[in-house]
Amino acid sequence: MFAVNPTTPVKSNIAGDRRLRSITGAGDNGMNRKRTYVRLRERGSVRAAISREDKAVESSVPVQRKEVNKSLISPSPSSSSSGGIDVRAVVTIRKKMKEKLTEKVEDQWEFFVNGIGRGIQIQLISEELDPVTKSGKRVESCVRGWLPKPSNNLHIVEYAANFTVPSDFGCPGAVLVTNLHGKEFYLLEIVIHGFDKGPIFFLANTWIHSRKDNPESRIIFRNQAYLPSQTPRGLKDLRREDLLSIRGNGKGERKPHDRIYDYDVYNDLGNPEKDDLARPVIGGEKRPYPRRCRTGRPPSKSDTHSETRIEKPHPVYVPRDETFEEIKQNTFSAGRLKALLHNLIPSLAATLSNSDIPFSCFTDIDKLYTDGFYLKDDEQNEGRRFPIGGDFMKQVLSVKERLFKYEVPAIIRRDRFAWLRDNEFARQCLAGVNPVNIELLKEFPILSKLDPEVYGPPESAITKELIEQEINGMSVEKAIKEKRLFLLDFHDILLPFVDKINSLPGRKSYASRTVLFCTNRDVLKPIAIELSLPPSPSSPRNKRVYTHGHDATTHWIWKLAKAHVCSNDAGVHQLVNHWLKTHACMEPYIIATHRQLSSMHPIYMLLHPHMRYTLEINALARQSLINGGGIIEASFSPGKYALELSSAAYKSWRFDLEALPADLLRRGMAVEDPTMPSGVKLVIEDYPYATDGLLIWSAIKEWVESYVEHYYSEPNSVTTDNELQAWWDEIKNKGHPDKKNEPWWPKLNTKEDLSGILTSMIWVASGQHAAINFGQYPFGGYVPNRPTLMRKLIPQENSHDYEKFMLNPQNTFLSSLPTQLQATKVMAVQDTLSTHSADEEYLGQVNPLHAHWTNDHEILESLNKFSSRLQEIEEIINRRNKDIRLKNRSGAGVPPYELLLPSSGPGVTGRGIPNSISI
């Protein structure tokens, strides 16, 4: 192999190189961070862009790692007569797993260009200050050829650059990388060999842009964390410039190679050029909302407040390292293909007619899992023209395989009729996909907080006498005192939207309240359902109450009432608890973390694995799921008012109540108990989401507290951390500006404050999202169990519909559910959203490619302790699922509660806690 070994710096081709020398040269005794890397974007001035370890290499692409010395310190200097120290930088690059012929030809050209030293330029920056330049000492070289020992993986290429550094050079703290090729490449890491204390790691896992796209180079720091006040003098300017580059100037349209993080309102969901797809701006005083990542696309001609739409297959901008890796792209695209084909080809299969018809019998639903769908000839031809189908689509069509055959959902796999029973309806309030809306009934009568001038009397139509009749004569006062009455309340959130929803074709909805009772055997059961419509002149109190009854007619009416409650639950789950409270609320935390915390900041390093893929999946959702006319509008009750409803729910959102113990206390599902590890005791002990969730919460809290204690042991270290204070200030004032004046925002003065804030963020990104996301298909894949919309109101006596209901109640029930096309659409989406990618990174696990994310032994020991605790929790949960006393997670036909089991394999497993919101 060939390697250049200059004793004098090679002439740099980097734009603004002189300025770079003045700010990068200064020594940095505390290099970079976890798995961080840096790249530069803003033109005209040197900007170090923190490239993020986000992009883990696929699990199927193993890379042999060199053993790192655990103590990275400066090498012992050679004598001045020695002429310097010979060191080598090993540069590891990942190639695409699947390449086109033209790309393979380009690779050969890149190999040649790199081999002769004209492809990748490396500058090694010392921590030590040069007394003349007042910047870090540096040497330059170019990669040449290949290492004598080739990589053990076809997709990994290793190059080397040799340097001779002065004997007093000190420890290298940063590497400056310039890509002289015409296209970007993916840098895994750079390891410096030759210093006395062993190899020095510069983790990258980042895209290095081409110099033709951005003349500035990328900075990659070594794996050392520093608080701002501890930053070595040689890195202070570089640290500051790095953050400036990431923030951008808030102007212009972002380019695919950019890594600019900034904020904007949700003004890109609709298409004002088409009246039926125009949507209001979400975010601001009228419709408050968290902010999303700014793309800078030009305004629409019809509405200057809205951004122009960009449709599939063209991507929505996210900072370059936020995009999916190759394995993730393949996983998501295969599932997305199902959903999009359902959307694009209305007459999807031979079993569906050209008109969108309801299910005629339960056998029609069963066929989704037993027979699947065959595409017609004309649909095959249309499928071949589908822009993202690719080889997968062609292969399926050529052999006429059953592309749309669904797996049997977990909810009916063991017991096909479980969904019919009241105890299963109640069980799913505690152990289903949306176990976060049930609350303790604390007072009676049940009152609305809506304006009575608009929405009528605030009192619920559920009376004391009715409840006492359903609980065998026990007084309501006693039941409330003994904490045995519970409420599923969707009244206030939905009633303002009911008239709008019911004006949409094929949509009929109520605002519901459901009262549940905990029996002497600790079994929860629904006892009364109130379904409300907005008041009208003829019906000022437009509320009806239903109970399970004791005859065939009331039983079928009760089933319809439960279906309407499930539809309410599905909409609130998807638009509020899932999208708003995890995806949308997490996005400002991620943007602020990149903008205000240097990649060498310890809190950046802590949060980094919990930010992976989130901006990309949110951008895809804005493009295909929550957009005007998208899957959510087409498949869920609120329709075109979906995001307006989500905005209405945000008005009551509070950061301080997103912590699991605080949320349980707010809902009355727990009481304070200092003797418990989490500080709370559950009102219902057999509450799987809460019991398992508190184990995960406590483990996260312990890990975060040990991490924060390690870096913030000095008094006032939190308040004097200017980056940290700017981060928290920006989250409140720019990320959630419609809430910035709320008094409930936690203070950030102590390490306890910091630990609490971070624990909540990590819980939301990991455990909370897992609990309400990965059960979507297992519970929602069977439409009668969890209809996402209802198409008919409950028939009333003396009406024509009531006569039809009496003659064929099953037909009335099925025709009230989503149609066959609506159902298969949403099933495809739920299947996709419930799928783990093969490159998923789970809570407490460290990707082998990130083994050297830090050189701090104490932190690594704390992480190992956290990982071990999660393994113990998995064993505890498995034992609970076999405990016959726990009726909500075991029993005949009862699926075990596994949504908070930490680990999982790929696919729709109904278990596993990824580090981040990655789907």
pLDDT reading at 351 higher than 50 = no
CATH number of 441-574+788-805: 3.10.450.60
pLDDT band at 328 (very low <50, low <70, confident <90, very high): low
Distance CA 876, CA 857 (A): 29
Catalytic residue among 342, 491, 573, 583: 583
pLDDT band at 262 (very low <50, low <70, confident <90, very high): very high
Residues of the chain with pLDDT > 90: what percent?
63
pLDDT band at 543 (very low <50, low <70, confident <90, very high): very high
CATH number of 84-222: 2.60.60.20
Distance CA 735, CA 685 (A): 37
Strands 218-221 and 172-179, sheet pairing? antiparallel
Residues of the chain with pLDDT > 70: what percent?
82
Average pLDDT over residues 865-879: 97
Backbone angles phi and psi of 349, in degrees to 5? -145, 165
The CATH 3.10.450.60 portion of the chain extends over 441-574+788-805
pLDDT tens for 424-441 read 999 999 999 999 999 999
pLDDT tens for 826-867 read 888 898 889 898 889 999 988 777 778 888 999 999 999 999
pLDDT band at 487 (very low <50, low <70, confident <90, very high): very high
Distance CA 172, CA 195 (A): 10
Catalytic residue among 617, 794, 859, 919: 919
pLDDT tens for 65-85 read 333 333 322 333 333 345 689
What distances in angstroms separate CA 818 from CA 329, 365, 629, 636, 638, one per listed residue? 30, 11, 17, 9, 13
The CATH 2.60.60.20 portion of the chain extends over 84-222
> CB of 691 within 8 A of CB of 685?
yes
876-885, long-range: CB < 8 A, 24+ apart: 876/695, 877/692, 877/695, 877/901, 880/688, 880/691, 880/692, 885/686
Residue 583 is among the residues annotated as catalytic for this protein = yes
pLDDT reading at 749 higher than 60 = yes
Answer with the residue of higher pLDDT: 563 or 385: 563
Average pLDDT, the chain: 84
CB atoms within 10 A of CB 425: 25
The CATH 1.20.245.10 portion of the chain extends over 581-787+824-908
Fold adopted by 581-787+824-908? Lipoxygenase-1; domain 5 (1.20.245)
Catalytic residue among 209, 578, 601, 608: 578
pLDDT reading at 24 higher than 90 = no
Catalytic residue among 257, 601, 736, 769: 769
Catalytic residue among 162, 343, 773, 855: 773
Average pLDDT over residues 376-387: 39
Answer with the residue of higher pLDDT: 32 or 89: 89
pLDDT reading at 370 higher than 50 = yes
> CB of 845 within 8 A of CB of 867?
yes
Supply the pLDDT for residue 331: 63
Selection from 853, 845, 855 nearest residue 189 by Cα: 853
